[in-house]
Amino acid sequence: MVKLTGNEKVNIAVFISGTGSNLKNLISHSLKKKSKFRISLIISNNPKAKGLNFANKYKIKKTVINYKKFDNAEKTILKKLKKNNIDLVCLAGFMKILSANLIKKFNGKIINIHPSLLPKYKGLNTHERAMKNNEKFCGCTVHYVNSKLDSGKIIIQKKIRIFKNDNIEKIKKKVLKQEHQIYPKAISKVIINL
Protein backbone atom coordinates (compact mmCIF):
# COMPACT_ATOMS: atom_id res chain seq x y z
CA MET A 1 0.00 0.00 0.00
CA VAL A 2 1.44 3.36 -1.03
CA LYS A 3 0.32 6.31 1.05
CA LEU A 4 1.38 9.60 -0.46
CA THR A 5 2.13 12.32 2.04
CA GLY A 6 3.56 15.68 1.13
CA ASN A 7 6.17 15.45 -1.60
CA GLU A 8 6.36 11.67 -1.90
CA LYS A 9 6.10 10.20 -5.37
CA VAL A 10 5.16 6.77 -6.66
CA ASN A 11 8.00 4.89 -8.37
CA ILE A 12 7.09 3.75 -11.86
CA ALA A 13 8.82 1.35 -14.26
CA VAL A 14 8.00 1.83 -17.94
CA PHE A 15 8.39 -1.16 -20.28
CA ILE A 16 9.08 -0.34 -23.94
CA SER A 17 10.08 -2.06 -27.18
CA GLY A 18 10.29 0.81 -29.67
CA THR A 19 10.48 4.58 -30.08
CA GLY A 20 9.17 5.37 -26.60
CA SER A 21 6.88 8.29 -27.46
CA ASN A 22 4.56 7.40 -24.56
CA LEU A 23 7.63 7.03 -22.32
CA LYS A 24 8.85 10.50 -23.33
CA ASN A 25 5.40 11.91 -22.59
CA LEU A 26 5.26 10.22 -19.17
CA ILE A 27 8.74 11.54 -18.32
CA SER A 28 7.55 15.09 -19.18
CA HIS A 29 4.54 14.64 -16.89
CA SER A 30 6.67 13.18 -14.11
CA LEU A 31 8.86 16.31 -14.12
CA LYS A 32 5.93 18.66 -13.51
CA LYS A 33 5.78 20.22 -10.05
CA LYS A 34 2.46 18.62 -9.06
CA SER A 35 3.30 15.16 -10.43
CA LYS A 36 2.65 12.27 -8.02
CA PHE A 37 4.99 9.86 -9.84
CA ARG A 38 8.57 9.51 -10.99
CA ILE A 39 9.98 7.21 -13.67
CA SER A 40 12.57 5.20 -11.75
CA LEU A 41 13.27 2.43 -14.26
CA ILE A 42 12.97 1.74 -17.99
CA ILE A 43 12.90 -1.88 -19.15
CA SER A 44 13.11 -3.01 -22.76
CA ASN A 45 13.27 -6.35 -24.54
CA ASN A 46 14.90 -4.61 -27.50
CA PRO A 47 18.50 -3.35 -27.13
CA LYS A 48 17.94 -1.13 -30.20
CA ALA A 49 14.76 0.51 -28.88
CA LYS A 50 15.06 4.25 -29.57
CA GLY A 51 13.18 4.91 -26.35
CA LEU A 52 16.24 3.79 -24.36
CA ASN A 53 17.87 7.09 -25.34
CA PHE A 54 15.49 8.86 -22.94
CA ALA A 55 17.06 6.89 -20.09
CA ASN A 56 20.43 8.49 -20.85
CA LYS A 57 18.96 11.93 -21.49
CA TYR A 58 16.98 12.03 -18.22
CA LYS A 59 19.40 9.91 -16.15
CA ILE A 60 16.90 7.10 -15.52
CA LYS A 61 18.07 3.55 -14.78
CA LYS A 62 17.51 1.18 -17.70
CA THR A 63 17.69 -2.57 -18.24
CA VAL A 64 17.57 -4.55 -21.46
CA ILE A 65 16.03 -7.98 -20.93
CA ASN A 66 16.97 -10.95 -23.11
CA TYR A 67 13.72 -12.83 -23.63
CA LYS A 68 15.38 -15.84 -25.28
CA LYS A 69 15.46 -17.47 -21.83
CA PHE A 70 11.96 -16.53 -20.66
CA ASP A 71 12.25 -17.73 -17.03
CA ASN A 72 15.55 -15.89 -16.53
CA ALA A 73 14.09 -12.78 -18.15
CA GLU A 74 11.16 -12.69 -15.74
CA LYS A 75 13.36 -13.40 -12.71
CA THR A 76 15.59 -10.50 -13.71
CA ILE A 77 12.56 -8.23 -14.16
CA LEU A 78 11.20 -9.09 -10.70
CA LYS A 79 14.62 -8.49 -9.11
CA LYS A 80 14.93 -5.09 -10.82
CA LEU A 81 11.40 -4.06 -9.81
CA LYS A 82 12.07 -5.00 -6.20
CA LYS A 83 15.52 -3.39 -6.10
CA ASN A 84 14.13 -0.10 -7.42
CA ASN A 85 11.06 -0.13 -5.12
CA ILE A 86 8.68 -0.03 -8.07
CA ASP A 87 5.05 0.63 -7.10
CA LEU A 88 3.52 0.56 -10.60
CA VAL A 89 4.49 -0.95 -13.97
CA CYS A 90 3.39 0.89 -17.12
CA LEU A 91 3.57 -0.98 -20.41
CA ALA A 92 4.06 1.43 -23.31
CA GLY A 93 4.43 -0.43 -26.60
CA PHE A 94 6.05 -3.41 -24.87
CA MET A 95 5.86 -6.24 -27.41
CA LYS A 96 6.17 -9.17 -25.02
CA ILE A 97 3.47 -10.94 -23.06
CA LEU A 98 4.10 -11.11 -19.32
CA SER A 99 3.67 -14.44 -17.56
CA ALA A 100 0.77 -15.15 -15.19
CA ASN A 101 3.37 -15.44 -12.40
CA LEU A 102 4.74 -11.92 -12.91
CA ILE A 103 1.22 -10.50 -13.24
CA LYS A 104 0.18 -12.28 -10.03
CA LYS A 105 3.20 -10.92 -8.13
CA PHE A 106 2.34 -7.39 -9.27
CA ASN A 107 -1.43 -7.88 -9.13
CA GLY A 108 -3.32 -4.64 -9.80
CA LYS A 109 -0.05 -2.78 -10.30
CA ILE A 110 0.53 -3.29 -14.03
CA ILE A 111 -1.25 -1.14 -16.61
CA ASN A 112 -1.04 -1.00 -20.40
CA ILE A 113 -1.96 1.43 -23.14
CA HIS A 114 -3.58 -0.15 -26.19
CA PRO A 115 -4.41 1.54 -29.53
CA SER A 116 -8.07 0.47 -29.83
CA LEU A 117 -11.38 0.79 -28.05
CA LEU A 118 -11.16 -2.42 -26.07
CA PRO A 119 -12.69 -4.98 -25.96
CA LYS A 120 -12.56 -4.49 -29.74
CA TYR A 121 -9.31 -5.25 -31.59
CA LYS A 122 -7.08 -6.86 -29.01
CA GLY A 123 -3.52 -7.63 -30.14
CA LEU A 124 -1.78 -6.13 -33.17
CA ASN A 125 -2.72 -4.13 -36.31
CA THR A 126 -5.62 -2.46 -34.55
CA HIS A 127 -6.05 0.51 -36.92
CA GLU A 128 -5.86 -1.65 -40.05
CA ARG A 129 -8.54 -3.96 -38.65
CA ALA A 130 -10.79 -1.05 -37.62
CA MET A 131 -10.57 0.48 -41.11
CA LYS A 132 -11.11 -2.85 -42.84
CA ASN A 133 -14.34 -3.25 -40.85
CA ASN A 134 -15.46 0.29 -41.77
CA GLU A 135 -15.60 1.37 -38.13
CA LYS A 136 -16.82 4.92 -37.53
CA PHE A 137 -14.62 5.27 -34.46
CA CYS A 138 -11.24 4.12 -33.23
CA GLY A 139 -9.29 5.15 -30.17
CA CYS A 140 -7.14 4.05 -27.28
CA THR A 141 -7.56 2.38 -23.91
CA VAL A 142 -5.55 2.23 -20.70
CA HIS A 143 -6.34 -0.96 -18.80
CA TYR A 144 -5.09 -3.16 -16.00
CA VAL A 145 -3.04 -6.14 -17.18
CA ASN A 146 -4.35 -9.59 -16.36
CA SER A 147 -3.38 -13.03 -17.68
CA LYS A 148 -5.53 -12.65 -20.83
CA LEU A 149 -4.28 -10.46 -23.69
CA ASP A 150 -5.72 -6.92 -23.57
CA SER A 151 -8.59 -8.08 -21.34
CA GLY A 152 -8.03 -6.36 -17.99
CA LYS A 153 -10.38 -3.84 -16.38
CA ILE A 154 -10.55 -0.58 -18.36
CA ILE A 155 -9.26 2.52 -16.56
CA ILE A 156 -9.82 5.17 -19.23
CA GLN A 157 -10.66 5.31 -22.95
CA LYS A 158 -10.67 7.96 -25.65
CA LYS A 159 -12.85 7.66 -28.75
CA ILE A 160 -11.75 9.21 -32.05
CA ARG A 161 -13.90 9.66 -35.14
CA ILE A 162 -12.67 8.02 -38.37
CA PHE A 163 -13.31 10.28 -41.37
CA LYS A 164 -13.62 9.16 -44.99
CA ASN A 165 -10.33 10.79 -45.99
CA ASP A 166 -8.40 9.19 -43.11
CA ASN A 167 -5.69 6.65 -43.82
CA ILE A 168 -3.72 4.40 -41.45
CA GLU A 169 -0.99 7.02 -40.87
CA LYS A 170 -3.48 9.78 -40.06
CA ILE A 171 -5.32 7.53 -37.63
CA LYS A 172 -2.07 6.40 -35.97
CA LYS A 173 -1.09 10.05 -35.38
CA LYS A 174 -4.53 10.99 -34.05
CA VAL A 175 -4.64 8.01 -31.71
CA LEU A 176 -1.08 8.55 -30.47
CA LYS A 177 -1.91 12.17 -29.64
CA GLN A 178 -4.81 10.91 -27.49
CA GLU A 179 -2.63 8.20 -25.89
CA HIS A 180 -0.35 10.99 -24.68
CA GLN A 181 -3.40 12.72 -23.14
CA ILE A 182 -4.93 9.75 -21.36
CA TYR A 183 -1.94 7.75 -20.06
CA PRO A 184 -0.87 10.31 -17.41
CA LYS A 185 -4.55 10.73 -16.39
CA ALA A 186 -4.90 6.96 -16.01
CA ILE A 187 -1.76 6.82 -13.85
CA SER A 188 -3.17 9.55 -11.58
CA LYS A 189 -6.38 7.51 -11.18
CA VAL A 190 -4.49 4.28 -10.48
CA ILE A 191 -2.08 5.83 -7.95
CA ILE A 192 -4.97 6.70 -5.64
CA ASN A 193 -5.86 2.99 -5.38
CA LEU A 194 -2.35 1.57 -4.98
Is beta strand 110-114 parallel, antiparallel or unpaired with respect to 10-16?
unpaired
Question: What does the alpha-carbon distance between residue 8 and residue 50 come to, in Å, rounded to a whole number?
Answer: 30
Q: Is 180 a catalytic residue?
A: no
Least Cα distance to 47 among 63, 59, 60, 61 occurs for: 63
Contact 106, 89 (CB under 8 A): yes
118: left (phi over 0), alpha (psi -120 to 50) or beta: beta
Residue from 114, 127, 143, 180 carrying the catalytic annotation: 114
Strand partners of residue 146: none
Contact 157, 141 (CB under 8 A): yes
Question: What does the alpha-carbon distance between residue 23 and residue 52 come to, in Å, rounded to a whole number?
Answer: 9
- Catalytic annotation, residues: 114
